Amino acid sequence: FTYLKEMMEEYCPTLYEYNDKADIERLFDSLYQEIDDTTFYRFHQVISRFVAGANEAHFDVGSKEDPFMAGIFDGSFRFIPLVLKFLDDNTYVRYSYISDSSIQRGDRILAINSMSMDDLREKIMPHIFSDGDIITYKLERMTAIFELLYYWHIERADSFTVTYIPFGDSTANRITLRAMNRPEMVEVLKERNAEETREDEEENKFYEFEIDDKTAYLKLKTFDWRVVKEYELEADVFYEDIFQQLRNEDVENLIIDLRSNRGGRQEFGNEMIQFILKKDRDGVFRKSISWKGREREYKIPERHELNFKGDIYVLVNGETYSTAANLAQYLKEFGKAVLIGRETGSRHEGFAAGSKESVSLPNSKIHIGIPRYWIQSPSAKDQGVKNRGTLPDYEVRYTITELLDDIDKERELALKLIEK
């Protein structure tokens, strides 16, 4: 545990930039007292809590070889057979792996094995890695990997008694569900998919683009290097083609959808700036500082000849993360874009990211990935709050009914603003 702290201090350049050193020391001392020889899972809980205390989301804890991870892949771990949606203060069923319809999408979960969802959140949240005080990102991570978080930090149960209120009802019900492993869940998905027409199999993994009259919609789904490699994409060429089409069609309004884009290759953030600058500017838009203190500055480019002169609207949420969060900020700072949705998932003024130092703890052999670069945003405007993501101009919240009806409130609001 002491070795982990030393490695974080050596390789994470932001550890004491966005945190008070005394707070980190107090957290370390407190957690050190909790270490015992009982179980590997207990030690993992202590480790994850300390790493989360760094307030940087780009850390990794665990690999396929680590005991608390290996069972996910070999099928020996068994989880709650529900995918949950954490919607502000409430929790709903997003997907059920059980065969009957006794519990369905949209049902509100009140408790699992007699622990209320409020208590579950309070216990799990401190173990989720996020930048600063960004709650939207933590809620998205709870939604994405709740079954793992419950398994690691609450209990490893063979069954789950779930207290819930069926959608459209007001009376609480209870049901006991058998735990399932990943192979069983995959089989359920295969069976259901075989019965349904899969219309999205040929969809482009990287983007969607359409033009309707004078308004264009560009959804950038990911900047993940694997997808970029699969499609043999180059950021400057890709954007030049997009903005050439906007020019050819005399587009006046551009909606850029960055919701749930978890980032990836930084050039897909950097290269768009030249196409959306409203006026020529000097200065630095990005600065990278390595764990060794080496600095690199990225200067604001000149406007491209295909520079977009119309209005820009950007759709964001808590999973607009890393490079995608940077891009949202650039669009707001340089393109005077209107941001619609929820607070982005990466710190507005900067965060730790880039390549990671892979560390194996001496005794437990737990693998830790420590982000080694401080990605600063020198051009970021003061939002009046620190340690937060980029804040939207129009915040959008959903009810469970709106989610079940697949209403796209952010896009609808953008179109209403364009109408006005």
Question: What is the mean pLDDT, run by run of 10 residues, along the chain of 420 residues?
Answer: 95 96 95 80 92 96 87 91 94 92 94 97 96 95 95 95 95 96 90 63 88 96 97 97 97 98 97 95 95 96 96 98 97 97 97 95 91 94 92 96 96 96
Residues sharing a CB contact under 8 Å with residue 160, sequence separation 6 or more, in sequence order: 80, 112, 113, 176, 177, 179
Residue 264, number of CB atoms within 10 A of its CB: 19
What 8-state DSSP symbol labels residue 347?
A: B
**Res 36: pLDDT:** 75
Burial 155-182 (b: 16+ CB within 10 A, else e): eebeebebbbebeeeeeeeeeebebbbb
Element (H, E) at 220: strand 215-220
Q: What is the pTM of this model?
A: 0.94
Count CA atoms within 13 Å of residue 145 on its CB side. 15
Question: Can you list the positions of beta strands (E) in 29-152?
Answer: 60-61, 82-87, 90-96, 108-112, 115-116
Residue whose pair of structure tokens reads 């890709």 in the numeric block: 238
> Which residues contact residue 87 at a Cβ distance below 8 angstroms, ignoring those fewer than 6 apart?
139, 398, 400, 403
- How many angstroms separate the CA atoms of 239 and 223, rounded? 13
- CA distances, 365 to each of 3, 24, 103, 250 (Å): 12, 23, 40, 58
Q: How many CA atoms lie within 13 A of 310 on its CB side?
A: 18
Neighbours of 95 (CB within 10 A): 15
Q: Could you tell me which residues come within 8 angstroms of residue 74 by beta carbon, excluding any fewer than 6 positions away?
A: none
Q: Report d(CA 84, CA 148) in Å as an integer.
A: 12
Beta strands in 273-397 (DSSP E): 284-290, 295-299, 311-316, 338-341, 350-360, 367-376, 394-395
Among 319, 315, 342, which residue's Cα sits nearest to residue 414?
315
Measured from the Cβ of residue 28, the count of other Cβ atoms closer than 10 Å reads: 16
Cβ partners under 8 Å of residue 165, min gap 6: 107, 108, 110, 171, 172, 173
Question: Could you give the CA distance from residue 351 to residue 58 in angstroms, rounded to a whole number?
Answer: 9
pLDDT of residue 273: 97
Per-state percent for the chain, helix, strand, coil, to nearest 5: 35, 25, 40
Q: Is 255 left (phi over 0), alpha (psi -120 to 50) or beta?
A: beta
Q: Is 209 exposed, middle or buried (0-12, 13-18, 19+ CB in 10 A)?
A: middle
247: which 2 tokens?
């020019």
Cα–Cα distances in angstroms (integers) from residue 245 to residues 208, 218, 241, 258, 306, in the given order: 14, 12, 6, 20, 10
Residue with tokens 């006991």: 176
